[in-house]
Amino acid sequence: MRIALTIAGSDPSGGAGIQADLKTFMRFGIHGLSAITSIAIQNSSGVKRVAELKNYLLEEQLEVLFSDFSVNAVKTGMLYSKENILTVERALAKHNVAQYILDPIIISSSGFPLIVPDGISLMKERLFPLAALVTPNLKEAEALSGLSISNEEGLQTAAEKICSHGPKSVLIKGLVVGRERIVDLLYSDKGAFRFESEWLECRNIHGAGCILSAAITASLASGKEVRDAVEIARSYVLERIRSPLRPGRGEGFLYLT
């Protein structure tokens, strides 16, 4: 049995966060562990408030999990506070985690901030050097790089700048080209690899970023290389985007099967 751990916020609506990660791990045949950093008070219409757990609770969750399980890969989602970031750094270093995927959650799709203002710089300083892969969307990549991205040249420049902070690779997602194609760029010291797919006009994609990074994590836990893991995860998410689920009154989710 291969095992993956998600360290992230809880989404009580079930579309993103810990809940989406665990469902995705199960879909890929991976046993999922979870450590909760905070609770997003939200429904399908958006985030209303974030309630951070006391940090000692995150520390204890990580300690008991690593003491019991042989973890093949770890992903982080929402790390709301500086204390969350420092606690994750200590745990990853202590347990020599090689396959660490960092999904840099900065702001919700409804515009609610999901990290404290000075948390981004601390994340880059402390966690990026430990990451096998960082998976920002376009807006997150702009925030992390300090650059505006409007074309593929900008995509490459931003990826290079993000990688200069230490991660082995970065996947920037979601550049729309001509309102017909979507381009994602995987960049590392081995070079750049471009993924292209049809642009699908769909608003019901809550949790897509969490699910993509969780699917990558699951494939890495299974022993796949990063490029293959990204390709598998992209295919899965694109398939799910074509058949969304709308259980609430607001934005729909990806239907995970």
* Confidence class for position 257, pLDDT limits 50, 70, 90: low
CATH of the domain at 20: 3.40.1190.20
**In angstroms, how far is CA 21 from the centroid of its own chain?**
9
Domain extent at residue 97 = 3-254
pLDDT tier at 246, thresholds 50, 70, 90: confident
Q: Which pLDDT does position 146 carry in this prediction?
A: 95
Confidence of residue 166 (pLDDT cuts 50, 70, 90): very high
pLDDT recorded at residue 242: 78
Percent of the chain at pLDDT above 90?
76
State pTM to two decimals: 0.95
Look at 20-34, 205-219, 240-254 and tell me which has the smallest mean pLDDT: 240-254
- CA distances 242 to 28, 59, 65, 201, 252, Å, are 19, 39, 36, 10, 12
- Say how many domains are in the chain: 1
pLDDT of 254 above 80: no
pLDDT, tens digit, 9 for 90 and up, residues 71-127: 999 999 999 999 999 999 999 999 999 999 999 999 987 788 999 989 999 999 999
What pLDDT sits at residue 193? 96
Q: Tell me the pLDDT band of 179, cut-offs 50, 70 and 90.
A: confident
What pLDDT sits at residue 245?
73
User: Model confidence over 26-84: pLDDT tens digits?
Assistant: 999 999 999 999 999 988 888 899 999 999 999 999 999 999 999 999 999 999 999 99
Other Cβ atoms closer than 10 A to 157: 14
| Amino acid letter, 9 | G
> Which amino acid is located at 245 in the chain?
L
* CA 196/CA 202 separation, integer angstroms: 17
d(CA 65, CA 248): 33
Residue 168 has pLDDT above 70, yes or no: yes
- The Cβ-side half-sphere exposure at 140, using a 13 Å CA radius, reads 26
- Between CA 164 and CA 68 the distance in angstroms is 35
